Structure 1
Amino acid sequence: MGITSTARRTRAEIAVSIAALAAGSLILTACSGSSDSAGKLDGIYYVKDVNGTSDLGQLVVKGSNVSHHEYSCDGVYEEPDVTSTGEFNKDQSQIIWTVAGDDTRNRRTGTEPISTSSTSISVSGSAYVRDNSDAGKALLDAFKAKCKK
């Protein structure tokens, strides 16, 4: 009788442990869901003729952090001519620029309103397209072709 009672108790303890692990897993999954939605925008986006120049604008999003780079034909795959950094506000409706680039043409200061879709981020009305989208690939190909001239 003692062995049967011990086996039942052990099975009950295992069942309780499994239930606790499952509940903990659900809680962790629920908590991580909010960070997944914040990461939906993660990636690289481009716009042509940034700030009224013939430069290529690049927006890099990692979580709530944003960096903005401007490339001329001379440095499209080297150091950017202008770099600014910022972060999204809580509801991701604005970018708050925290460090402006050194170039006097740089307009990335203060806050700028944004809107998003699955393939683009519009910053103050300028649409930056995701690099791996059809529009992004076409924009990069056109910029490279222009720079080869």
Structure 2
Amino acid sequence: MSVIRTTRRTRTKIAVSIGALAASSLILTACGSSDSGDNRDGTYYIKDVNGTSDLGQLVVKGNSVSHHEYSCDGVYEEPDVTSTGEFNKDQSQIIWTVAGDDPRNKRTGSEPIAISDTSISISGSAYVRDNSDAGKALLDGFKAKCKK
């Protein structure tokens, strides 16, 4: 009878251990895959950035952000204005670390942001993801305007 009790206890301990390992694995997986913003990584565009007819481009890689402005002559060349920054800890603002040289550039200090699946709004101006319908339409419109 003591053999049966020992076997049951052993099975119970093994089952509990397996359950604990499975739970630990799930917890570690959840911690390891915390949303560092990878789903927002990509390229976003806005037309008439800073009140000009330039195309604004926002490139997001992790917590790093770069902002470029292109005129019609420079869409596939070096941007006219480039600024870099990063998201703050709670990802509610972009803190600009390097501002471009152009005097029209307003990318200094920090700006509030809002993030959705297809856009990032900076100080109320929405940049649309390049592979979204709105992003494709915006780029096609800018290219057509620049061909004139």
Task: Give the TM-score normalised by structure 1.
Answer: 0.81
Post-superposition offset of 1:22? 5.9
Question: C-alpha separation between the residues in 1 aligned to 2:130 and 2:25?
Answer: 35
| Secondary structure of the structure 2 residue equivalent to 1:118 | coil
Question: C-alpha separation between the residues in 2 aligned to 1:116 and 1:72?
Answer: 26
| Secondary structure of the structure 2 residue equivalent to 1:66 | strand
| Secondary structure of the structure 2 residue equivalent to 1:108 | coil
- 1:66 aligned to 2:62? no
Post-superposition offset of 1:29? 1.5
| Secondary structure of the structure 1 residue equivalent to 2:37 | helix
The one-letter amino acid paired with 2:89 is K
Aligned partner of 1:99 in structure 2 is 98
Aligned partner of 2:3 in structure 1 is none
Call closer, same or farther: CA 1:25–1:115 in 2, change over 3 Å: same
Instruction: Spell out, residue by residue over 1:23-45, the C-alpha distance to the aligned partner (whole angstroms, 9 max, x if none).
Output: 775454222221x3521211100
Q: Percent identity?
A: 84
Aligned partner of 2:32 in structure 1 is 32
Aligned partner of 1:52 in structure 2 is 51
Across the two proteins, how many residue pairs are aligned to each other?
Answer: 135
| Secondary structure of the structure 1 residue equivalent to 2:33 | helix
| Secondary structure of the structure 1 residue equivalent to 2:76 | coil
RMSD: 2.1
| Secondary structure of the structure 1 residue equivalent to 2:106 | coil
Question: C-alpha separation between the residues in 1 aligned to 2:41 and 2:100?
Answer: 22
